[in-house]
Amino acid sequence: MLNEKLFIGDQALVELAKLLSKPAVGQVFVLVDANTGAQCLPLLAKVLPDSARVVEIPAGEEYKTLATCETLWAELTEARADRYAVVVNLGGGVITDLGGFAAAVYKRGVRFVQVPTTLLAQVDASVGGKTGVDFMGFKNQLGVFQEPAAVFIEPRFLQTLDPRQLKSGYAEIVKHWLIADADGFARNRYVGMLVDDWTPLIGESVALKQRIVAQDPLESGLRKLLNFGHTVGHALESYLLQQPGREILHGEAVAAGMVCETWLSYHKGLLSAEELDKIETFLFSVFEKVQFVTLETKAIADFARQDKKNSGAIINCTLLEGIGRGVYDQAVTLEEIAESLRYYHRL
């Protein structure tokens, strides 16, 4: 247990069973997608009450929408779920974001718990109280801050992932090193993903994020550090999401975004050439290059206009003033973002 609401390890689901057996818990609803329903629900089912109702939605970022929320809301309404109901979100970032948002607004809020099944969700999406859905092609355009009743991280779920999904989650671990853990980056830059047991890395990464979130739960300052790689990354992910057949995973977009935003840090004199080389060499040793053409860079950059860190017409970005030292609220222009994408494309 990392704190009173977060459990990690092979006893996590035992703790979930204890929570769901409490007298104050009413109906239990389990939100899954087509993948987690088939691959992860059998393990979870061992600790669920017999009366739990499973709600399945299609898998994929394209279903992270208000329309999909209506599926869960309809199930809750038809079952006459009251405020004592608990929603168990079993899945990756789409499920934890969408399920948390849907629970947070149903009857002005019912409790939900996160049971993340991907590495990305275990180290990032399920922790910190951010919920949301995509809208009009923009990532997490609608959402609320709402802490889950608890988070239960069972590393065995990672065995259901293919290598691409595992690598996507690893991007968020790398992000945590680059913004606040230089020693972690130094220890692991020659190891990469040659990991036998993910539990220690998950614990370290979650603890780092929790320390930041505890100081700034509503993202008015310090928590913005966690957006490193996401200004350019979200723009790239949103652009390609609208191009059928070119969709990429969130972590793949963040990895590309980290290369671009590391270059922006160097471009603005915050980062040395040596540090730029170390970071991009490591990132390209793990992640394949995201494919786009130079003519698309302005169109991709334009998606950054909708970034949630912006202030009016100013695009605010989290950059690095050294490995392990993030700095937030750094103003960048659309042209600088486009140039960072052109730099990435040339590498």
Q: How many Cβ atoms sit within 10 Å of the Cβ of residue 144?
A: 13
Residue 270 and residue 285: Cα distance in Å, rounded?
24
Q: Radius of gyration of the chain from Cα atoms?
A: 20
CA quadruple 100, 105, 106, 110: dihedral positive or negative?
A: positive
Residue 151 and residue 8: Cα distance in Å, rounded?
8
Catalytic residues: 108, 130, 172, 209, 219, 223, 227, 230, 234, 250
Q: Kindly report the length of the chain.
A: 347
Q: What is the DSSP secondary structure assignment for residue 122, as one 8-state letter?
A: I
DSSP of 181-208: -HHHHHHHTTTTT--S--HHHHHHHHHH
Closest by CA position to 117, among listed 222, 216, 44: 44
Residues 6+ apart with CB under 8 A from 182: 322, 323, 324, 325
Degrees, nearest 5: CA angle 312-327-138: 45
